[in-house]
Amino acid sequence: MVGYRRNFIPGGMYFFTVTLADRRSRLLIDQINHLRSALRTARRERPFTIDAAVILPDHLHAIFTLPPDDFDYSGRWRRIKGHFSSALIDASIELNRRPNGELALWQRRFWEHTIRDESDFSWHVDYIHFNPVKHGYVRRVRDWPHSSFHRYVRDGTLPADWAGDAGQDGVEFGERPEMIGRAGG
């Protein structure tokens, strides 16, 4: 990541991929209630809007909008990760540690992309909602329970059959070039 610089825009909207250190883990969905609680607590401490999100077993994707005078998304992720890790420890769930004693639950970094415009936002929302199908967890977007897709359907923004069935011909969501090779996929 030599030369990588994060973009800090007060009130900005950002797409994130946040990943567990162990890519074989299922902790995010096995402990979904602890993750939801961590998100709620972090939002009470430092408000932000969750515009879209999907939780997969070992990683998550989300779009956050920050308050107009605030650009500290890193601090929010630090709080979310910390609250989730603490909840797991309190629940006596054994977590790996790095040689220096630090918890090895999360990858140290995360992928961030500043949403540029409505088209960019729409593409990333579609990417988020289609991700469980892409990874082969379900054949239809609506079948994955841990997704803001269901809120979009309730709000009338998307139809319940959006993106069809992965087994149908022609149903495919490809990667944009800048997304290929990023953590979490």
Any domain includes 116? yes
Each residue of 114-164: pLDDT tens digit? 999 999 999 999 999 999 999 999 999 999 999 999 999 999 999 999 999
Any domain includes 161? yes
Each residue of 49-88: pLDDT tens digit? 999 999 999 999 999 999 999 999 999 999 999 999 999 9
Domain residue limits at 168: 13-179
Domain count, the chain: 1
Own/partner pairs, 99-108, CB within 8 angstroms, 24+ separation? 104/21, 104/22, 105/20, 105/21, 105/27, 105/81, 106/18, 106/19, 106/20, 106/21, 106/81, 107/18, 107/19, 107/20, 107/21, 107/183
What CATH number corresponds to the domain at position 168? Answer: 3.30.70.1290
Any domain includes 82? yes
